[in-house]
Amino acid sequence: MQRCEISPLGSCLGRDDSMNNCKQCNQPFTLAPEDKEIMKKLEVSDPQLCSVCSLLRRLAWRNERHLYWRTCELCKKEILAMYAPSSYARVYCRECWFSDLWDPLSYGRSYDESKPFMDQVFGLLRDVPHYNLWKIGNNENAEYANMILSARNCYLGFSCLESDGVVYGKNVDYSRDCVDCYNVFKGELLYECVDVRESYRCAYLTRSTKCNESYLCRDCHDVSNCFGCVNLKHKQYCWFNEQLTKTEYERRLQEALSSRASFEAAHKKFIEFSLTQPVEFAIIRSSEGATGDYVYNCKDTRASFDVYNDDNIGDAFRVYDVKDSCRLSYTKDGQLVYEYISGPNEMQVIACMGAPNLSMSAYCFECYDSDNLLGCMGLRKKKFCILNKEYSEQEYRRLRTQIVEQLRRAGQYGEFFPTAQSFHAYNDSTANESFPLTKEEVLARGWRWNDDQGGSRGKETIKPADVPTTTEGIPESITKEILACVQCGLNYRIQAMELQALRTFGLSLPIQCQECRFKRRLKLHNFPPLYTRGCMCKNAAHSHPFPCPTQFETTYSPDRPEIVYCNPCYQQEIK
């Protein structure tokens, strides 16, 4: 994970000659010609922030994982919400918010020419109620989940698409029965896996695809019954890249799983072994003209991360099936989208958040199934509205033109909502995952910090030293016990689905809380920005001068210990 003040990712990606300085980090940045063309079509002002700071700003408005008990301000029921009690947001439960018991248009106000438009938007944002949790589609048994789409049996799962049986997971899509996982696509029965695709019955895998019944592997493809392996393809019964017989493999596996201590020793050995093996500079698969990392089936994709099936997008983060868009995050099925976060099915949308099925709109928050809106909050199936006030089409277009021209003259049209105005404290937001800052750094920037993120300490019913070292013979009643994290002291429980997964893999109970385990997984996933580096290959047998002269853009910073190869050298190495 990187801090946002390092050099922005856009500074060396074959961009044009127009140079700007970011108003947040003061680093120079340029824009790709393709991105400038998208901005021209949307008629937005030149951006004031570099790509990294722009991403941070969007993520600062999204809180997935820090949930709080609050009271619905309409029905007065106790609810779980993504807004902390200290947030200025007014909060309804989802049942009330989507009901006819209130009218978002009742908060409408006329545009005041004497005041900045964005100040009027922020006033509306503070007054209009927001729903407690963000969920779309048919979700079942997912009361303790947030930012999900058609998920089932999901407990503390976040940003999960059409998955079933996710516990303590984030970015787990089209998968089932995954526990403690991050960034998984079409996986089944996985535990502690990061950046894994189309794999089954595996534990502690990273950057791997189509693996089965394996443990502690990195950058493996189509392997089964492998342990501690790196950069293997089409292999079976391998132990730290050593070929074994089935009998010997099963003997060693039983020994490694015999206790927590034996598995932790194997884990430590795997980390050390992994650093001796080269890593590919980026995961870019079945894509053409792409830069970034974790890019799949994309075309003309610039400096984008965790993106799938996209065409002509720039500076995107976790985006599916989008085209002709830039500076967007956590969205699916859109076109001509700019400075947007959280929600599917957008068309010609600028600086909006959480607005499914929205088109031809700007500066909207939680507006559903609507079009031709400007500065609106909480509207459903509406059009031709400004600041939640309805107009005739003719009057709407006249007033919209006036407001947009005012924003353009100030160089603001297209700029996302500022971080300082976010509902969420910085350490509650998704921004803190990708760009961690200290409390002092956050406060120095004029942003908010939350000192009380909930949880308890000192209420454990079983001491860490007394936690069983294997799952064999552990009764179901363990799920009723309260444990204490050996790292931070936070209390936590073992969930029933979690216990079942641990038994399946023969692993011991975790002695760290889910928050510390999550932070450990984050360290295995690469975040922006990109760095210009050279291939580290010095193998004279490869078909290149010595050493390899290839340069590339990678998320591996120069001070990291990994041996980073270009794609041709990496492919020759792992044959």
pLDDT value of residue 76: 98
pLDDT of 7 above 80:
no
Helix (H) or strand (E) holding 161: strand 158-161
pLDDT value of residue 8: 34
| Average pLDDT of the segment spanning 419-435 | 97
pLDDT value of residue 18: 61
CA-wise closest residue to 424 among 82, 68, 52: 82
| Average pLDDT of the segment spanning 520-536 | 96
Tokens coding 59: 């993520």
Tokens coding 521: 């997984």
pLDDT: which is higher, 11 or 160? 160
**pLDDT, mean over the chain:** 95
pLDDT value of residue 3: 36
Q: Which residues contact 398 (CB under 8 A, 6 or more apart)?
A: none
pLDDT in tens, 552-568: 999 999 999 999 999 99
Tokens coding 115: 């005041």
Q: What percent of the chain has pLDDT over 70?
A: 97
Tokens coding 406: 């005012």
pLDDT of 418 above 50:
yes
pLDDT: which is higher, 6 or 207? 207
The answer to whether 342 and 330 are in contact (CB under 8 A) is yes
SS3 132: coil
pLDDT value of residue 573: 87
Tokens coding 379: 């509207």
Residue type, 493: R
pLDDT in tens, 316-347: 999 999 999 999 999 999 999 999 999 999 99
Burial 303-340 (b: 16+ CB within 10 A, else e): bbbbbbbbbbbbbbbbbbbbbbbbbbbbbbbbbbbbbb
Tokens coding 8: 């922005």
Q: Which residues contact 566 (CB under 8 A, 6 or more apart)?
A: 281, 535, 537, 548, 550, 552
pLDDT in tens, 105-148: 999 999 999 999 999 999 999 999 999 999 999 999 999 999 99
Helix axes 246-256, 260-274, angle to 10 degrees: 110
pLDDT in tens, 358-393: 999 999 999 999 999 999 999 999 999 999 999 999
CA distance 63 to 172: 17
Rounded to two decimals, the pTM is 0.94
pLDDT in tens, 470-479: 888 889 999 9
Provide the pLDDT confidence category of residue 12 given band limits of 50, 70 and 90: very low
Query: CB neighbours (10 Å) of residue 409?
Result: 10
Angle of CA points 448, 58, 380, to nearest 5°: 105
Domain ranges of the chain: 68-135, 142-280, 284-419, 424-449, 464-522, 531-573
pLDDT in tens, 185-239: 999 999 999 999 999 999 999 999 999 999 999 999 999 999 999 999 999 999 9
| Average pLDDT of the segment spanning 55-61 | 98
Beta-bridge partners for 238: 226, 243
Beta strands 383-386; 370-374: pairing state: parallel
pLDDT value of residue 380: 97
What's the number of CA atoms in the CB half-sphere (13 Å) around residue 256? 23
pLDDT value of residue 268: 98
Q: Phi first, then psi: what are they for 147, rounded to 5°?
A: 55, 55
DSSP H helices, 387-511, are: 393-409, 431-434, 439-444, 496-505
Quick one: the chain helix, strand, coil %, rounded to 5?
25, 30, 45
- For 525-567, the DSSP string reads S--S--EEEE-----TTSSSSSS---EEEESS-TTS-S-EE-H
Provide the pLDDT confidence category of residue 551 given band limits of 50, 70 and 90: very high
SS3 414: coil
Residue type, 114: S
Q: What percent of the chain has pLDDT over 90?
A: 93
